[in-house]
């Protein structure tokens, strides 16, 4: 009998270490808080605010965190809120991040709490909605803050809750987002050792989590090319230099960087010219042309190569045709790079909660995410949480009026984020 007991204890210890199931108290606290998380989400959903204008959103977040008794700092990177929870023992610091901004998208769903908010964006009246699902991120993290505060006896170290504004990008001429938060010292004092973040995903079924080690979302560069030619009559091109023709040659040339020079076996890369402006009428060869576009890369070396070759090629092509051209880059996000060691270490936590079959190794996406800036400073792990109803026949895309999230997916996010923080700190 005694040997049975010893064997059972050993087996239990073994299972606890190697399967890292959810702590039963965290599980029950998460389940108890689910209704509240959904209520918060509906409130944020009905009251969305654009990037760098998340004033009321931030107030509600700060109020909740203060009520929990946490050390709260407001107005970080304009409207961001940061809270610190000290566990019962000294240890490392882990950060959990939620982005809080909405989009200038007019919602066209028939949910009872749909947004009817309107505002002015770049001098145009627009509808505002949480068409990327950041409302779910806020409420999940508010729930996690409440759970971890309640169970702070389980925490060996410090948890920093980062509610980040302007993930979708600040309005033109303004700073904002993760970049500004880092500049204002969000990863310091106490210094953050690792950071976790999630994004709800309308294309992934509820109960499932997708992840990828290494480059998981792309570095986003915006570029502007200015081509200068020489204006002349459309009937006599030989007496001028045609900037439209040069632009065509440049577009063609840029695509060969991807198809002939980038090592595509490593990762994908994209160059897109999204806008061309030139000319006034049919019989005038204009003086100049402007092209605006984007570059997406998932590997730091490929990023350097593609940008270097674009810088070389653009003026060289223009010169070959008798004109001149300049290219300027603006970095919008870095590579969302999941630290492979951190992923390997924390994966059992996620698998233990969601079930191994529900944690899916995914391909990278060429969209961008400014969580990447945190990952440039500290190791981070960013993954996707299922928000698609199992019975849904089609997927609604993010950033569209029809965007829809099944709220039953939120609970898994609460459990996973809570347990990740605990397991990361306790493994040190």
242 noted as active-site residue: no
Catalytic residue (one of 23, 49, 99, 101): 101
* Cis peptide bond N-terminal to 190, omega within 30: yes
Catalytic residue (one of 54, 99, 135, 167): 167
Query: Please, which residue, 231 or 396, has the CB nearer to Zn ion?
Result: 396
Query: Please, which residue, 132 or 227, has the CB nearer to Zn ion?
Result: 132
| Cα distances (angstroms) measured from residue 264 to each of 65, 153, 156, 267, 302 | 46, 49, 43, 5, 9
Region 31-60 residues binding Zn ion, contact defined as CB under 5 A: none
Helix (H, G, I), strand (E, B) or coil at 75: strand
Q: How far is the CB of 188 from Zn ion (least distance, A)?
A: 25
From the list 243, 244, 261, the residue with the least C-alpha distance to 313 is 261
> Residue 257 has what DSSP assignment?
I
User: Is residue 191 within 8 Å of 125, Cβ to Cβ?
Assistant: no
Query: Please, which residue, 337 or 382, has the CB nearer to Zn ion?
Result: 382
Site size for Zn ion (CB under 5 A):
1
From the list 233, 327, 346, 252, the residue with the least C-alpha distance to 289 is 327
Q: How far is the CB of 260 from Zn ion (least distance, A)?
A: 32
167 noted as active-site residue: yes
Point out which residues pair with 201 in neighbouring strands.
386
Point out which residues pair with 330 in neighbouring strands.
222
Query: Please, which residue, 132 or 145, has the CB nearer to Zn ion?
Result: 132
List helix spans (H) across 257-406.
300-320, 340-354, 371-377
Q: How far is the CB of 50 from Zn ion (least distance, A)?
A: 12
Query: Please, which residue, 158 or 336, has the CB nearer to Zn ion?
Result: 336
Q: How far is the CB of 167 from Zn ion (least distance, A)?
A: 6
Q: How far is the CB of 270 from Zn ion (least distance, A)?
A: 18
Region 107-166 residues binding Zn ion, contact defined as CB under 5 A: 132
Q: Is residue 343 involved in binding Zn ion (CB under 5 A)? A: no
| Chain CA centroid to CA 148, Å | 24
User: Is residue 295 within 8 Å of 331, Cβ to Cβ?
Assistant: no
Region 223-252 residues binding Zn ion, contact defined as CB under 5 A: none
Q: Give the CB-nearest residue to Zn ion.
A: 132
Point out which residues pair with 226 in neighbouring strands.
290, 326
From the list 401, 392, 386, 378, the residue with the least C-alpha distance to 355 is 386
Q: How far is the CB of 398 from Zn ion (least distance, A)?
A: 5
Binding mask 267-306 for Zn ion (x = CB under 5 A): ----------------------------------------
Query: Please, which residue, 148 or 217, has the CB nearer to Zn ion?
Result: 217
Q: Is residue 257 involved in binding Zn ion (CB under 5 A)? A: no
Q: How far is the CB of 101 from Zn ion (least distance, A)?
A: 9
Query: Please, which residue, 132 or 410, has the CB nearer to Zn ion?
Result: 132
- The whole-angstrom separation of Cα 338 and Cα 349 is 16
Q: Is the dihedral of CA 57, 87, 11, 20 positive or negative?
A: positive
Sheet harboring 89-99: ordered strands across? Answer: 71-76, 80-86, 156-164, 89-99, 194-205, 380-388, 209-211, 359-361
Residues interacting with Zn ion, by CB under 5 A? 132
Residues identified as active-site:
101, 167
């Amino acid at each position: 009998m005694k040997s049975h007991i010893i064997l059972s204890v050993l087996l239990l210890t073994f299972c606890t270490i190697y399967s890292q199931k959810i702590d039963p108290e965290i599980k029950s606290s998460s389940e108890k808080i689910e209704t509240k998380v959904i209520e918060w989400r509906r409130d944020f959903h009905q009251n969305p605010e654009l990037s760098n204008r998340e004033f009321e959103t931030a107030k509600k977040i700060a109020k909740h965190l203060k009520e929990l008794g946490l050390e709260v700092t407001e107005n970080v990177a304009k409207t961001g809120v940061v809270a610190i929870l000290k566990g019962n023992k000294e240890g490392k610091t882990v950060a959990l991040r939620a982005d809080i901004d909405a989009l200038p998208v007019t919602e066209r769903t028939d949910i009872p709490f749909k947004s009817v908010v309107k505002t002015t964006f770049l001098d145009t009246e627009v509808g505002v909605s949480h068409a990327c699902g950041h409302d779910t991120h806020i409420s999940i993290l508010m729930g996690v803050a409440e759970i971890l505060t309640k169970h702070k006896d389980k925490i060996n170290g410090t948890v920093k809750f980062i509610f980040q504004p302007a993930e979708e990008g600040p309005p033109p001429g303004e700073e904002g987002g993760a970049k500004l938060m880092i500049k204002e010292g969000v990863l310091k004092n106490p210094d953050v050792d690792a950071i976790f973040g999630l994004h709800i995903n309308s294309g992934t079924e509820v109960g499932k989590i997708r992840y990828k080690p290494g480059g998981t979302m792309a570095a986003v560069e915006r570029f502007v090319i200015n081509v200068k030619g020489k204006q002349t009559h459309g009937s006599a091109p030989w007496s001028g230099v045609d900037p439209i023709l040069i632009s065509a040659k440049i577009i063609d040339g840029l695509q060969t960087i991807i198809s002939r020079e980038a090592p595509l076996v490593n990762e994908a890369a994209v160059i897109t010219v999204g806008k061309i402006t030139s000319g006034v009428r049919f019989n005038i060869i204009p003086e100049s042309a402007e092209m605006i576009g984007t570059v997406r890369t998932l590997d730091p070396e490929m990023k350097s190569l593609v940008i270097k070759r674009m810088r070389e090629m653009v003026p060289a092509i223009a010169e070959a045709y008798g004109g001149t051209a300049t290219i300027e880059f603006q970095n919008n996000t870095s590579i969302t790079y999941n630290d492979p060691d951190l992923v390997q270490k924390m994966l059992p936590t996620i698998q233990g909660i969601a079930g191994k079959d529900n944690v899916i190794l995914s391909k990278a996406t060429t969209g961008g995410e400014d969580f990447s800036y945190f990952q440039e400073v500290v190791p981070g792990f960013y993954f996707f949480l299922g928000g698609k109803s199992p019975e849904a026949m089609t997927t609604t895309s993010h950033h569209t009026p029809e965007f829809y999230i099944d709220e039953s997916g939120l609970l898994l996010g609460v459990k996973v984020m809570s347990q990740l923080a605990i397991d990361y700190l306790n493994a040190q």
